[in-house]
Amino acid sequence: MNQASFATLKLTPELLSNLTSLNYQVMTPIQAQSLPAILQGKDVIAQGKTGSGKTVAFGLGLLSSLDVKRFCVQSLVLCPTRELADQVAKEIRKLARAIHNIKVLTLCGGMPFGPQIGSLEHGAHIIVGTPGRIEEHLRKRTLQLDNLTTLVLDEADRMLDMGFQTALEAIIGHIPNQRQTLLFSATYPDQIQTIAANIMSQPVMVQVAATHDSSSIKQYFYKLENNKQRNTALRLLILKYRPESAVVFCNTKRETQEIANELCSQGFSALALHGDLEQKARDQTLVRFANKSASILVATDVAARGLDIDALDAVINYQPARDSEVHVHRIGRTGRAGSKGIACTLYSDNESYKIAQLEDYLTHTITPEPLPPFSLLEKDVHRPSMTTLQIDGGKKQKVRPGDILGALTGKNGIAGKQVGKIHIFDYCSYVAVTKEATKPALKKLSEGKLKGRSFRVRRIRG
């Protein structure tokens, strides 16, 4: 199929010009199928995996219908996690660069409530947030949605998995019936169909096949003799493929922590990501994994949805996914943007029915591989090349990435190539540096100044 250009759409010259400057030339399948209906003001249900370009699809829809002169909340985007909400808001701001005086505000749980009230008093055009926090603002009457024209449910299936149905119903009760509703979901279970029937009007259905090019992702399946073999098998796979970054998917929160602890006890650099983590610990975990100072992230499907992680070398399914669509969604996190990826799945005899279901879904036979040789257990474990430093100053102290980079690489500092990713939060910042540069970087930041001030700096360990 020929790829369609954004220029074929009824978009303003400003939006088209900005898309060109962002190097967004041709539409992805989900954009090509959903945008014409979205721009016509129709309700749309779009099913597609993470990375399919859905944020640009609904982002352009919101911006096309927006009236900047009306300073009120016209669009609401609901996301299951704060990370996804931040990612979506960032993308919308990028798309809106050519539109003057537009205000995009994020309202998420795990953040102080007071400053959000202050931001709302200054007004906003588009709000991106998590259902629990949006419902709380509506309940306390700090947020008004009487003028809302567009509602977006992003990753709708995960919002339901995380128990947000009651919050969603409460939010729907506060917004006008006459509106456009856009629902984006990686899977389309019965629960989603029921909600869509209740809140949407004659929606257009768009489905983009969740398949992956076998040339970019190589899949391997390993049948275990018993469940006791699972931990050993996981270590063997990590030692064989030696990924710089890998996600290990588990089906329960408890397992993620147990497996991460077990891997750490064996010398691996592993972190757990699950719903019971406090926001600060979750932020720190994601920062360390994204900046390559931890190489293995053990996560549940719910926790890992919406993560902005690039260059993922491998995905390992500690158990098969609960259904075939989720399996395809999991493995789609590797082999992105033209890079190669590996996806390994462990399963026991009593999980063989899931493999049979997957065979039907993928329409090809799955042949299990023999486990790598046990002699690999004697090999040295891959250690990350980066270390994370935490600075007790962030956006609220006007700290910017350039300030941190300048402080590190200034007179008698470390080389620019020894500095990795920099993440700035409201009250703290994180910077990755190469292992050999850790001590001089700590010294430089501790003894120097940022924005004319001294900040406490420490290395994140463990």
CATH code of 190's domain? 3.40.50.300
- Give the closest residue to 252 by CA, choosing from 267, 271, 272: 272
pTM of the model: 0.66
Sign for the pseudo-dihedral over CA of 88, 335, 345, 235: negative
Do 68 and 197 share a domain, yes or no?
yes
Same domain, 228 and 181: no
- If asked whether residues 222 and 360 sit together in one domain, one would say yes
DSSP code of residue 1:
-
Same domain flag for 27 and 122: yes
Domain termination residue (choose one: 165, 189, 207): 207
Please say which residue of 340, 357, 378 terminates a domain: 378
Please give the residue range of the domain that contains residue 273.
Answer: 217-378
Q: What is the pLDDT of residue 181?
A: 96
pLDDT of residue 307: 64
With a cut of 70, list the residues of the chain below it in pLDDT: 1-3, 49-51, 209-216, 303-311, 335-339, 462
pLDDT at 158 (0 to 100): 79
Counted domains in the chain? 3
The residue with tokens 């016209």 is: 74
Q: pLDDT at position 1, please?
A: 41
Question: How far, in Å, CA of 5 to CA of 14, rounded?
Answer: 16
Examine residue 327 and state whether it is found in any structural domain, yes or no.
yes
> Is residue 181 located within the same domain as residue 274?
no
Whether 223 and 365 map to the same domain: the answer is yes
Task: Say if residue 419 is in the same domain as residue 365.
Answer: no
Which token pair is 82? 């704060």
What confidence score (pLDDT) does residue 280 get? Answer: 86
Q: 343, 378, 413: which is the final residue of a domain?
A: 378
Q: Residue 98 falls within a domain, yes or no?
A: yes
363 falls within a domain: yes
For residue 212, being part of any structural domain is answered with no
Q: Indicate whether 238 and 338 sit together in one domain.
A: yes
**Is the separation of the CB atoms in 55 and 88 below 8 Å?**
yes
250 located within any domain: yes
